[in-house]
Structure 1
Amino acid sequence: MRRRGATLLVGVVVLVALVLGSFVGIKVPYVEEGPGPTWNTLGSSSGKQLISISGGTTSNSAGQLRMVTVGVEDQITLWQAIRGWLDPSDAVVPREVVYPPDQTQQQTDQQNQQEFAESQSSAETAALRKLGFPVKVTVGSVVAGAPAEGHLRAGDVINSVNGQQVTSVEKLTSLIKARPAGTALVIGYSRNGVPASTTITSSKGSDGSPQVGVQVDQKQPSPYSIKFTLDDVGGPSAGLMFSLGIVDKLTPTDLTGGMTIAGTGTIDDDGNVGPIGGIAQKMRGAKRDGATVFLSPADNCAEAVANAVPGLELVKVSTLNDALTALQKLRDHQTPTLCAGS
């Protein structure tokens, strides 16, 4: 009986080892998302400033404005997937959520890097606009035979459409497309610094959408040259924190009030803050790296509250102006607009 019992015990141990070994070795079509690195947009990485500005005086701040990321581990095992499902700090999602099946991993990485670069461009545009350097949408050329011919010329600055201000190329396009082709549009413009207006009736473009037939450029004259230095990061979600970093550096006010503030959110040229993915993991990364305040896009507030991290105040923002107002209130020891339930 003793020999039989020992044999049975050895068999059970071997079976358990085989099962655990299969868990460890079997790859599953999932990825594990966890808190990724965070960076202070007012500081440096690898000896280089994340945001370097020349052409004017910059200031220093006592606190931090930290952008946050999600770490992604690919090619995980069944054991890692089970562990991730049980860990509230991580998320295990189907691989195609992160790496679309119709793209190679290289294509996905390139797309993420392009979105990161575009977010930096929009962050610069929104910040400089806030600092008093408006965007000028300038006519580069007029298409021969198009509705704008005889009305606009190369070099004209388009200021408005039907009384609504044109703040970017994107805004101009949306204002023209907001009315059906054949609509008379009152275009406000400046020529050689002299304001004027003209009425142009839009027509259908080759894609069927309304157009007036001008090629335009977006310019934002300022004395500053702004460069971003950060490698191996992708996606558009750092836009808000980059924009705040620029404003902080180019104004004497320390936006942080000496605090460590983290946040996330896309930003467009007009300063609108959009939702992002992985906010639960980003919040945990922020807390890990010392943040006590987290700026959350309004559209992510419900998810942020559901995954609240003790000691991390969740502030609701929809625009760059919202974020700046919230930071002002924090410096004044007032309560900013919070995500409901936080």
Structure 2
Amino acid sequence: MRRIPLKNKIIGVLLILFVAVNFIPSQYFISEPGPALNLSEMITVEGSYRDDDWGGFYLTSVSQRRASFWDVAVFYLFPSENKELIPVRTAIPPGMSESEYLNLMQELMVESQLSAQAVAYRELGYDVEMRGEGVKVVDLVEDGQSEEILEPDDIILKIDGKEVELASEAVELIKSYPIGTELLLEVKRDEEILEFEITTAEHPEEVGRSSLGIYITTAGLDYDMPEYVNFTSENIVGPSAGVMFSLEIYNQLTEEDITRGNRYAGTGTINFDGEIGRVGGELLKIIAAENDGISTFILPEDHGVIIESLGVDIEIIESPDFRDLLEQLNVE
């Protein structure tokens, strides 16, 4: 039998190690600042007053990909504030595939776009309406308090006696209760109406926030809007750009530029009532804005950034809701 030369064995082992380290995915995602995107190029509003010399509102994104073992090693050997390493199990619900998770994020993006339109139009005095058929359970947090009680495709109709039509309504309602509160849920399962008592627990990703351990979307979402708004936000999913969508739509529907020629970036969800909510990746999005030369960044009032230790030259505006935000921007 012909013996393989030692040199060839070493080369073969090194080749296997190279492939393993660089191409076999780890159980982490690596997140980095993405681009800052001018929303005037992504949103077209029927009847827009927008002019080319106006300033702009910008969506800041986070670029996320599955980390290789090499990426993980570099992250720990050369720490950088421009990167975050996130375990896959905390980013995607256990038992949910990446494609299913992306589909959920796409549904939340659509609802976010509709809420953004509703908030902007209502602030300008228009009559708008959004409605749903309840809150659909998409998945359950593994080992969470609802795992053995609720099922995927259950429709939550009431929480603590209060009707919920939209997922955003349910999120805000659950958040309003202290951790450890027992809530009575009215649930439609197939054609049967059931009641369950579930105790709120701390949200797995947000300290101090109540959660029921469920992933939800709106069932049978429908709406009436006064004008047509077109979004071209390919490759952007999730609800985190809601507040910036509202600002861009509102600005296009006013005769004078509310930015006064300035550029604003920001992040935050927005619900039908105009409340601005917390999102993830806030620090990376601030860095993305600074990288693009934007000097002002908008955050929810409830955020996870330590402003004093940011280390970036950027003004921060913190706001709880859309009306307050317009006041801070000196919009009359």
Coarse TM-score class (shorter-chain normalised): 0.5 to 0.7
The corresponding residue for 1:82 is 73
Paired residues of 2:118 and 2:225 also in contact (CA < 8 A): no
Return the offset for 1:303: 1.8
Deviation per CA, 1:19-50, whole angstroms, max 9, x where unpaired? 995754664211101101221112x2xxxxx1
Q: Quote the residue 1:102 is aligned against.
A: 95
Contact residue 41 and residue 245 of structure 1 kept, 8 A: yes
> Are positions 1:134 and 2:137 aligned together?
no
Give 2:50's aligned residue.
Answer: 59
Provide the residue aligned with 1:163 in structure 2.
Answer: none
2:4 is matched with: none
- Aligned equivalent of 2:117: 124
Task: Check if 1:293 corresponds to 2:292.
Answer: no
Aligned to 2:104: 111
Q: Where does structure 1 lack aligned partners over 5 or more consecutive residues?
A: 1-13, 45-49, 141-165, 179-202, 210-215, 333-342
SS in 2 for 1:227: strand
User: Are the structure 2 counterparts of residues 217 and 40 from structure 1 closer, same or farther at C-alpha, using a change threshold of 3 Å?
Assistant: closer
1:91 aligns with 2:94: no
Per-residue deviation at 1:81? Answer: 1.2
How far residue 314 of structure 1 moved from its aligned partner, in angstroms, is: 1.1
Structure 1 residue aligned with 2:214: none
Identity, % of aligned pairs? Answer: 27
Q: What amino acid does structure 2 have at the position aligned with 1:313? A: E
Deviation at 1:208, TM superposition (A): 3.6
TM-score by length of 1: 0.63
Question: Which residue pairs with 1:30 in the alignment?
Answer: 28
SS of residue matched to 2:329: helix
Residue matched to 2:37: 39
Change (3 A) 1:323 1:23: same
> Is 1:68 aligned with 2:60?
yes
Q: Distance between the aligned counterparts of 1:313 and 1:136, measured in 2?
A: 35
Residue in 2 aligned with 1:262? 265
Where 2:330 maps in the other structure, the secondary structure is helix
The answer to whether residue 240 in structure 2 is matched with residue 248 in structure 1 is no
Q: CA deviation at 1:310?
A: 1.8
Q: Alpha carbons of 1:306 and 1:116: their partners in 2 closer, same or farther (altered >3 Å)?
A: farther
Q: Name the SS for the 1:31 alignment partner.
A: strand
What's 2:203 paired with? none
Contact 2:118 2:129 in 1 (8 A): no
Secondary structure, in 3 states, of the residue corresponding to 2:59? strand
Taking the TM superposition and a 5 Å limit, the aligned residue runs for 1:1-342 are 21=18, 23-24=21-22, 27-42=25-40, 44=41, 50-54=42-46, 56-60=47-51, 62-74=54-66, 76-85=67-76, 86-136=79-129, 170=166, 206-208=193-195, 220=224, 222=226, 224-300=227-303, 302-305=304-307, 308-328=310-330
In the superposition, the TM-score normalised over structure 2's length comes to 0.65
What's the offset of the Cα at 1:77? 2.3
Aligned residue pairs, count: 247
Counterpart-to-counterpart distance in 2, 1:83 and 1:304? 25
Measured in 2, the distance between the counterparts of 1:279 and 1:264 equals 7
TM-superposition CA deviations, 1:158-205 (whole Å, max 9, x none): xxxxxxxx9x9559x88xx99xxxxxxxxxxxxxxxxxxxxxxxx998
Contact kept, 8 Å, 1:129 with 1:135, in 2: the verdict is: yes
Q: Taking structure 1 as reference, are residues 72 and 218 closer, same or farther at Cα in structure 2, changes over 3 Å only?
A: closer
Check the 8 A contact 1:35/1:69 in 2, yes or no. Answer: yes
Structure exhibiting the larger radius of gyration computed from Cα positions: 1
**Secondary structure of the structure 1 residue equivalent to 2:119:** helix
Moved >3 Å (runs of 4+): 17-27, 135-138, 168-171, 216-221
Evaluate the alpha carbon distance shift between residue 66 and residue 217 of structure 1 in structure 2; reply closer, same or farther with a 3 A threshold. Answer: closer
